[in-house]
Amino acid sequence: MLIILLSIGVLSLSWLSVYFLKAYAQNNLLDVPNQRSSHRMPTPRGGGLGIVLAFFVATLMLFLGGSIALTGFLPIMTSLLVAGIGFWDDHRHIPARWRFLVHMAAAGIALYMIQGFPSLVIGDLHVELGLLSYALGVVYLVWLLNLFNFMDGIDGIAASEAIFISGALAGFLSFVGHELALIAFALCFASLGFLLWNWPRAKIFMGDVGSGFLGFVLGLLILMAGHSDPVYVYIGLILFAVFITDATVTLVRRYITGRKWYEAHCSHAYQQAAKRYGHLKVILVVWGINLCWLLPAASVVFRYPAYALPGLIIAYLPLIYVTVKFEAGNA
């Protein structure tokens, strides 16, 4: 019953929040197309704030109602720093160094609260990372929040990915009765409320306030779950495979070929595919990959943790091939 009420409440609040944000953004946050854009018409942005608001209210209610502990609530709240700098950047450009510092601070605070990156388990080998776990955790969280921003370039893709990852993670966590499942469910339905406005052709864009926030929270949920069982780190990386593969291959190829990898561009594989086939077909194919390839792979790893590393490698190999095939990073 709690999950049903949570789902309906968060979905409704997210949808309504985006409805009102759309009117505000129409006059204050209009995204005008340029040569790097994947859209043709001026479109309001910043609708991801609706996800943030709905998720924050839901998480606060879960905490006050005793459904999640303080140790689960406080680390998640560091994501508000990421959302805040993102919303500010949506209104006026914030230099990359200041955004990076805020991202680093949010990641550092969160990792301090959860005691770093979980230990790594490779077959029978159990590796405790010590102080290195904090450095690794910061790199991991900052990369995930930035790659989510990079991958938010066509209608519906970032919200769809957030729904898939958080929904699948919630399912795995529910199976063992973990309290983080409720937080993951809240994020899933907050993202769904936004997707109803962002489905091709989008009526409003997510903006940095939503994309960075989603990447950060999803990454943090995976780490928090990983402290209870390291297999969740592998599961999370498998669920994230579409975004991690495209963003990483694109960045590496741009760097190797001497391009300014840190500048805005439209050379990701999903953007190349959208130019050929349109936004909707790309979104549907991504959903197909997620549901028919990555979810089964994650399920096998969940069932047989000893095969986590081979399962992770097998899940990524065909996606790397497809990303290269679409000339990611070469445009």
Q: CA 179, 316, 283: angle at the middle one, nearest 5?
A: 75
* 29-34 average pLDDT score: 73
Q: For residue 43, name the pLDDT band (cuts at 50, 70, 90).
A: confident
Q: Are the C-beta atoms of residues 52 and 86 closer than 8 Å to each other?
A: no
Local confidence band at 38 (pLDDT 50, 70, 90 cut-offs): low
The reported pLDDT for the residue numbered 230 is 93
Does 37 have pLDDT greater than 60?
no
Give this prediction's pTM.
0.95
End-to-end Cα separation, the chain, in angstroms: 50
Q: What is the mean pLDDT of the chain?
A: 92
Q: CA separation (Å) from 261 to 89, 150, 256, 330? A: 20, 12, 9, 11
Position 302 confidence tier, pLDDT thresholds 50, 70, 90: very high
- The half-sphere exposure of 185 on its side-chain side, counting CA atoms within 13 A, is 21
Higher pLDDT, 137 or 261: 137
- Residue range 109-141, pLDDT digits in tens: 999 999 999 988 887 777 788 889 999 999 999
Nearest to 83 by CA among 57, 56, 61, 114: 56
The pLDDT assigned to 257 comes to 77
CA atoms of 41 and 281, how far apart (whole Å): 19
Which residue from 8, 48, 30, 76 is spatially nearest to 223, judged by alpha carbons?
76
176 vs 223, higher pLDDT: 223
Range of weakest confidence among 4-13, 38-47, 259-268: 259-268
Q: 2-6, 177-181, 199-203, 308-312: which range is least confident on average?
A: 2-6
Cis peptide preceding 201, ω within 30 of 0: yes
Q: Say whether pLDDT at 1 is over 80.
A: no
Cα–chain center distance at 147:
8
pLDDT at 93: 85
Identify the three-state secondary structure at position 27. helix
Indicate if the pLDDT at residue 264 is higher than 90: no
**CB-based contact 3:182 (threshold 8 Å):** yes
Tokens found for residue 148: 């989510």
| Rounded-to-integer distance, Cα 277 and Cα 324, Å | 17
Domain edges within the chain: 2-29+41-325
